[in-house]
Each structure stands twice: as structure tokens, then as C-alpha cells.
Structure 1
């Protein structure tokens, strides 16, 4: 069954307003509904209400970092199957391994391209078809 991108809920968690805005703009262009959060605490409060289909989370954040946030999401039986994609400006093996340990489904290095962002969603949401760019 094809899942059109209309109404696909994507959460972007990043303490950088620029990254949040960039991701939100790219994702809205292909028809996704975007929920943003400034850090892990903000995100956890919103996840239960919004029930996103895919979550992008920055690793380096104050208060609750991306690893801790991902672990908390994956430890919740209700959201365990929600794909979590880590975002980081570091492309190290250690970071990728640590991401896997806490249950992340994929790892994107910043700055990411529109293709990488959409590609990651396609991998984790079977049948996802991005709307044509408006």
C-alpha cells in the first residue's frame, strides 16, 4: 500500500533553529507534516501528543542529548517501532556505533541534503511517496 506523504508526521529535534527550519522547509515541500522540538525534553512532551511516523534527532543538545532521547523513545513500548534517525555534524564510527546501541535506525551527517532526508524516510516508511515539489 502506498503511503502518500500527505499527513506523514515527521519530528525534527535540534537545538539549532537553522537546522529545524531547513528540515521543516524541505519536508513540507514534499507534503509532510512537521513537528519541531528544541531538545529531548521538548520532544518527549510532544511525541505522545503528535505520534510522529519518523523522528530525526540531533546528537549534541543541551539537557537531554540525542542518544538519551533516542534511548527513551526506544524504551517506550508504544514508540519502539518509530524510526529514529540521528543527526550529527560528526561522522565518526564511534558516534554511529553509539547510535546503534541506543536503538537508532539510521545516522545522517550534517549538513544533510534534501535527498538524504527524503531517502531516510523512504527507507523507514515503506510505500512513502514524496509529493512533487511545489
Structure 2
């Protein structure tokens, strides 16, 4: 699902970052999004993610809330407090969908919250809402 630049008719590739400590979740999200035509980058935690974000400059980031070392809230805060990355939409991924978790994600700077398990359609819809 490459977005097209209508004026130039040139395909534009959207870069998506998945940060999750679960290899299964990372591989599942990567497969679903690559099948939909996106360029996908993954990281197993927030520390690893920061170097990938610096190198790859993703258009949108999905981050798991519950991770060791640096959780999703802390990772989101690092991204949003960096002048070079604060414009990148951050979407929290979690099996927890309580009001407190969603509010804490918003306070950290996330744009949205997606519950696990997710579908390809859900991920694609979120990307469409936040990447222009």
C-alpha cells in the first residue's frame, strides 16, 4: 500500500518502526505490514530502537508498553523530547486497554493506543490516520 505523490506519480514508501520485546509480536507485525507494502524496521527494546530511529527516520512508531530496561512510556518520552524525532507519531501497543494505561500513554506523548492482538487492518488504519 504505497502512498503516491499525485503530482509526480512517484511511489512513496512509508517507514514503520515496531518496538517490542516479543520476537513473535515483532515478526507478526513486520509480516503484516510488509504484506501491506510498508518498509518495516524492528527493535527489541527502547535502547535498540533509538539507534534504529536515528538511522532510519521512521514515519510512524509502534511501541509496546511492557518491556524490560526501558518501557514503552519511557521510550515514547525519549522520542517526544528529542527535537529531531518529536514529530514522529508514536502508537502504544499493549494487551492492557485500561483508561489509566491510555492516559499514561497520552501523557508520555503517544498519539494513540492499539490493543494486542491486532490485525493488519487495524495497523494500516492507524498508519493512514497519522502519516500524511
1:53-92 superposed matches below 5 A: 53-92=59-98
Is 1:113 the counterpart of 2:110? The answer is no
Structure 1 residue 108 displacement after superposition = 0.3
Question: Structure 1: which 4+ aligned runs deviate by more than 4 Å?
Answer: none
| RMSD after superposition | 1.3
2:15 is matched with 9
Distance 1:123 1:23 in 2: 18
Q: Quick check: 2:3–2:13 contact (8 Å CA) kept in 1?
A: no
Please state whether the residue corresponding to 1:35 is helix, strand or coil: strand
Q: Could you tell me which runs of 5 or more consecutive residues in structure 2 were left unpaired when the two chains were aligned.
A: 5-10
1:45-56 superposed matches below 5 A: 45-56=51-62
1:36 is matched with 42
Distance 1:65 1:26 in 2: 24
2:130 is matched with 124
Please state whether the residue corresponding to 2:18 is helix, strand or coil: strand
Q: Could you tell me which runs of 5 or more consecutive residues in structure 1 were left unpaired when the two chains were aligned.
A: 127-134
Distance 1:28 1:41 in 2: 24
Distance 2:15 2:120 in 1: 17
TM-score by length of 1: 0.90
Number of residue pairs aligned between Structure 1 and Structure 2: 125
TM-score by length of 2: 0.91
Structure 1 residue 3 displacement after superposition = 3.0
Structure with larger RCO (C-alpha < 8 A, sep 6+): 1
Structure 1 residue 6 displacement after superposition = 5.0
1:99 is matched with 105
Please state whether the residue corresponding to 2:62 is helix, strand or coil: strand
